[in-house]
Amino acid sequence: MSKSLFASRVVLPLLGCFIATPVAVLDAQAPQLRPMVPPGGSVILEPGQRPVTLHPTVDAMETYRRLNPRAGASGAASTTNQLYYHGGVGGVGVETAPKVYLVLWGSQWTGKDPSGESQILQNFYTGVGGSSWNNSVTQYCQGVSSGTYFCTSGTHAGNPSGMLAGVWSDTSTTAPRRPSQSQIAAEATRAASHFGNTSASSNQSIQYVIASPHGVTPSGFGSQYCAWHSSTSSSYGNIAYTNLPYMTDAGASCGANFNGLGPNAGITIVGGHEMAESETDQFPNGGWLDSSGEENGDKCAWISSGQGASARVTFPNGSAFPVQSLWSNAFNSQTGGCVLSY
């Protein structure tokens, strides 16, 4: 990202115009936030805020497409920037045997789930393993040289059945009305303890989804991002986690009725986006990203028609959910593209 983004307050001009809706304002203490942004917007930074680290400088057109995902609505997502391996963090770049732990954070979940998001998420994570949709992550690997584009060796990301390893309804406390990143990270660490994952090795290939209840609004949700994934260091090793707010609270800004897929579409479109990115970039940004810092979900977000358009897909257990496509380096004779099946 250009150096101008690090100024104390910047509204980034995109191709000669300004777009008022902000996206991706990030916590000052964030090591590497990986946000899924709403359709459209520009970057606004306040003093002390840190953007996602991108690799390397982004040109004007790529910046426009990244911050305005609907500009790719024809399905013409970038084919010039393949994903490549960034060397891993402590040797870990992908989830070789991925497991998802879902945390329903806060006493507010009790009797207050108007969109049924808890069950939708549980059903989604239960069925997604082994699906052809999630199978695209298996082309990416770790244990190879930084800069690798295609894995002819190394250990590949996995797509096993039964990926949902546990659900914790943490009703012992009330989730903060506007939780900070450090509070979300602390909840992920508590979840690791709750599930008995108390060593670095036990937290490899694991992601914790911290789902906030209805009415809890982390700063920036719905206007600056829909969700993000990151990692935090702890006495249990590095912990990968996702900040997943109550998606339908943001309405159309985060996928409600996107592409005619129904009012709850954003729950699994966004949830699946972050899950797949965690599988291929577990501890950002050591996994698979393109030259502008986009992950496999970023490159295919909010496509409404043509190749890679969001759609309802059926999982091996017969359940069907709205999802976005994911980037495949292998697609179209290794020129790359957005796919719903691999």
- Residue 296 CA to residue 117 CA, distance in Å, equals 24
pLDDT confidence of residue 35: 84
Q: Residue 221 has which token pair?
A: 């949700």
pLDDT tens sequence across 131-183: 999 999 999 999 999 999 999 999 999 999 999 999 999 999 999 999 999 99
Per-residue model confidence (pLDDT) at position 40: 53
Residues 334 and 108: their CA atoms lie apart, in Å, by 47
Tokens found for residue 296: 């496999």
Q: Distances from the Cα of 239 to the Cαs of 15, 202, 242, 264, 283, in angstroms?
A: 38, 10, 10, 29, 8
Residue 322 pairs in a beta bridge with: 312
Of 195, 221, 222, 226, the residue nearest 208 (C-alpha): 195
Tell me phi and psi for residue 185, to 5 degrees: -60, -40
- Nearest residue to 184 (alpha-carbon basis) of 152, 214, 143, 227: 227
- 60 Rama sector, left if φ>0, alpha if ψ -120 to 50, beta otherwise: alpha
Digit-coded pLDDT (tens) for 48-93: 333 333 222 222 223 333 333 433 333 434 445 899 999 999 999 9
Integer Cα distance of 17 and 25 in angstroms: 20
How far, CA to CA in Å, does 41 sit from each of 14, 153, 158, 184?
A: 10, 40, 34, 25
Q: Answer for the pair 31, 182: CB distance below 8 angstroms, yes or no.
A: no
Q: If DSSP codes are grouped into helix, strand and coil, which group holds residue 76? A: coil
pLDDT digits (tens, 9 = 90+) for 177-206: 999 999 999 999 999 999 999 999 999 999
Distance (Å, rounded) from C-alpha 264 to C-alpha 256?
A: 6
Please report the pLDDT score of residue 284 as a whole number. 96
State mean pLDDT over 223-229.
96
In the predicted model, is pLDDT for residue 9 greater than 60? Answer: no
pLDDT-derived band at 215 (thresholds 50, 70, 90) equals very high
Where in the chain are the domains?
3-339
Q: Alpha carbon of 46 to those of 20, 66, 106, 218, 304: distances in Å?
A: 15, 20, 29, 16, 32
Q: Within a 13 Å sphere around the CA of 309, how many CA atoms are in the beta-carbon half?
A: 11
- Residue 285, C-beta contacts closer than 8 angstroms, at least 6 positions apart: 32, 34, 52, 53, 55, 86, 293
- What DSSP designation does 78 have? -
Model pLDDT, residue 80: 59
- When pLDDT is cut at 50, 70 and 90, the band that residue 36 belongs to is confident
Q: Does residue 128 carry a pLDDT above 50?
A: yes
Cα(235)–Cα(257) distance, rounded to whole angstroms? Answer: 42
pLDDT of residue 39: 72
pLDDT band at 245 (very low <50, low <70, confident <90, very high): very high
